[in-house]
Structure 1
Amino acid sequence: MSVSSSPPSPHRSLTGRLPLRRAHRGAVSLGELFAIGLEGLRRTWDVRSWFWEFIEQFAFLARVTTLPVILVALPLGATVALQVGDLAGQLGAQSATGGAVIVGLVREVAPMAAALIIAGAGGSAMTADMGARNIRDELAAMEVMGVNPVHRLVTPRMWAASIVSMMLASLVIMSGAVGGFVFNVLLQGVTPGAYFDGALGMLRVSDLFVTLLKAWLFGLIAALVACHKGMNCALSPVGVGRAVNQATVVAFMLVFAFNYIITTIYYLAYPPEV
C-alpha cells in the first residue's frame, strides 16, 4: 500500500527563505555602506568642491549637539562619582574615586557619548535631508549634470561629523570631570588634590590618542550610515521616517561593535597598569 506524500506548503517554504533573504539584504546594504565610505574618502583631497558644505554641516552639528552632550555628561560624571565614591569609601580608598571617574570618561564614556549624540541629534537630520533630496530627485539630477553626490554631499558630512565628534569627546571629559568633582569633593569630602592626582596617575598619553581616534571613527560611521540610509530610502515620507529610525539603530550597533574591537586590541597592546 503506497503512501502519497503531500507537497511542501508554499507558506512554509517562504518562511524558511525569509531569514536568508534578510541576511542577503543586510550583507548587500553593509557592502554598499562601506563602498560609499571609501568613495567619499577617495575624493577628500578635492577640498574646494566640498569646503563650504563642510562649514555649513560643521556649524549645524556643533549647534545641535553641544548643549545635549553637556547635559548628558554632567549628571553622568556625578552619578559615576557618587556610586564609585560610595563603594570606595567602604573599602577605605575614597581618594581613588577621581581616578576611576576620569579614566572611565576618557577611555570609554567620552567617545561613546559623543558618537551617540552625533547619531541621534545630527545623524537623524542628515538622513532626513538626504532622504528629502532623494524624493525630489536631486541626487539623480546631480548625477545627470556630472556631479557625484557622494563627493559633494557625503564627504563633507563625514568630515564634519568626525571632527565635531572629537570636540564633543573633549567636552564630555571636561563636563564629566566637573560633575564628578562636585559630588566627590564637595559632597563626599575628598580633597581636590587627591581627586585629580588619582586621575593623572592612572591616565596615559596613549589613552587620549585612542579616545580621539574612537571619537573620529564613530562620528565618521554615524554620518556615513545616515547618508547611506537617506540616499537609499523609499520614495515617500514614510520611507524617510523609516530611514531615520534605521540609521539611528544601525549607527548605534556599529559604534558598539567597533568600540569593542578597538578596546580589545588596545588592551592587548597596552595592558592596563595597576
Structure 2
Amino acid sequence: MKLVTYQPDKDSAVRIVRDNFSGTVVASLRTFGRAAGIAQESVVGTITDIARREFQWKEAILQAWRLVTVTAIPAILMAIPFGVIVSVQVGNLIHTLGADSLLGATGGLGVIKQGAPLATGFLLGGAGAAALAADLGARTIREEIDALNTMGISPIHRLVIPRMVAMLFVAPLLNVLIIFVGVLAGYMVAIGGQGVTPGSYWATFGSFTTTADVWISLVKAVIFGFLVVIIACQRGLEAKGGPRGVADAVNAAVVLSVVSIVTVNLVATQLTAMFLPTRLA
C-alpha cells in the first residue's frame, strides 16, 4: 500500500497565517477593550464609593501595607546600585570632558527623571502585579468572584477599587524612596571615589534639578502604578484552568505590565523633552 502525505499548498499556508494573525489582533483589541472598561469603572466607582461612604478603606489600607512589604526592601536594593552605576558611568564621561563639577546635576537628573519612575514601575509590575494577579486569580479559580456576582456584589467595587487606590498611594511613596536612596548612593560614590567636593555636587544638583522634574517623576510613577493594577486585576479576574491558570495570569500580568511601562515611559519622555526641556533652576 502506498502512503500519501498531505502537503498544503502555498495559498493554504498563507491563509492560515493570515487567519492566525487576524485572530491574535482581534483578541488583543478585545483584551484592551476589557482593560479600558475595568479602568473606567474603577475610576468612576472610586469617586461614587467615596461620595456614598461605601469605600472599602480597611481593604485599601491592608492592600497598601502588603504592597509596601513586598516592594520597600527591593526598592532600596535596586536604588543603591542604580545610583552608583549612574554616578560611575556618567562621572567617567564628565571627567573626560573636564566638567567634574556637573556630576551632581547629571546624576540627579538621571535618577529623578528616568531611574526612579522606571524602578518604581518595574517593582510594582514585578512583585506588585504578581501578588495582585495571584490573589485575584486564586479567588476566581475558587469561584469566589462568581459568588460575589451571584450575591449582587460587584467585584470591581469590592476588590479592584481598593487595590487601585492602594497602588496609587504606594507608587509615589516608593518613587520618593528610590530618589532619596539613589541620589544618596550617587553622592557617596562621587565624593568618595571620584574626588568631587560636596559643595559642587549639591550646587549643580540644585541648579539643574527643578521641582518640575520631581513632579514629573511622581506623575509617571502614579501612571505606571495605575497601569500595573489594571492589568494585574484584569488578568486575575479572567484566570481559568485551575492552578495553571493562576500561574499563567501572573506571568501575563508581569510581562504586560513591564511592556506597558516601557512604552508609556518612552512616550512620556518624548513629551516632557518637547514641552519641559532641561533648564537651570
TM-score normalised to the size of structure 2? 0.91
Q: Which residue of 2 aligns with 1:36?
A: 38
Q: In angstroms, what is the RMSD of aligned CA positions?
A: 1.6
AA of the residue aligned to 1:217: I
Which range moves more in the overlay, 197-206 or 258-267?
258-267
Partner SS for 1:43: helix
Task: Tell me the number of residue pairs that the alignment of Structure 1 and Structure 2 aligns.
Answer: 269
Q: Structure 1 109/7 Cα, relative in aligned 2: closer, same or farther at 3 Å?
A: closer
1:65-104 paired onto structure 2 within 5 Å: 65-104=71-110
Q: Is the 8 A contact 1:225 1:251 kept in 2?
A: yes
Q: Percent identity?
A: 33
Deviations 1:106-127 (Å, cap 9, x if unpaired)? Answer: 1111111011101111110110
Q: Are 1:243 and 2:249 counterparts?
A: yes
Deviations 1:182-211 (Å, cap 9, x if unpaired)? Answer: 211011111111111111100122111111
Unaligned runs of 5+ in 1: 1-5
Q: Which residue of 1 aligns with 2:224?
A: 218
TM-score normalised to the size of structure 1? 0.94
**How far has the Cα of 1:88 moved from its partner?**
1.0
Q: d(CA) in 2 for partners of 1:257 and 1:231?
A: 24
Which range moves more in the overlay, 87-96 or 62-71?
87-96
Partner SS for 2:195: coil
AA of the residue aligned to 1:251: S
Deviations 1:229-255 (Å, cap 9, x if unpaired)? Answer: 011122311111111111111111111
Q: Is the 8 A contact 1:73 1:176 kept in 2?
A: yes
Unaligned runs of 5+ in 2: 1-7
Moved over 3 A (4+): 6-12
Q: Which residue of 2 aligns with 1:131?
A: 137
AA of the residue aligned to 1:44: T
Q: Which residue of 1 aligns with 2:5?
A: none
Partner SS for 1:49: coil
Q: Structure 1 174/7 Cα, relative in aligned 2: closer, same or farther at 3 Å?
A: closer
Q: Which residue of 1 aligns with 2:158?
A: 152
Q: Is the 8 A contact 1:73 1:172 kept in 2?
A: yes
Partner SS for 2:152: coil
Q: Structure 1 19/185 Cα, relative in aligned 2: closer, same or farther at 3 Å?
A: same
AA of the residue aligned to 1:38: Q
Q: Is the 8 A contact 1:65 1:121 kept in 2?
A: yes
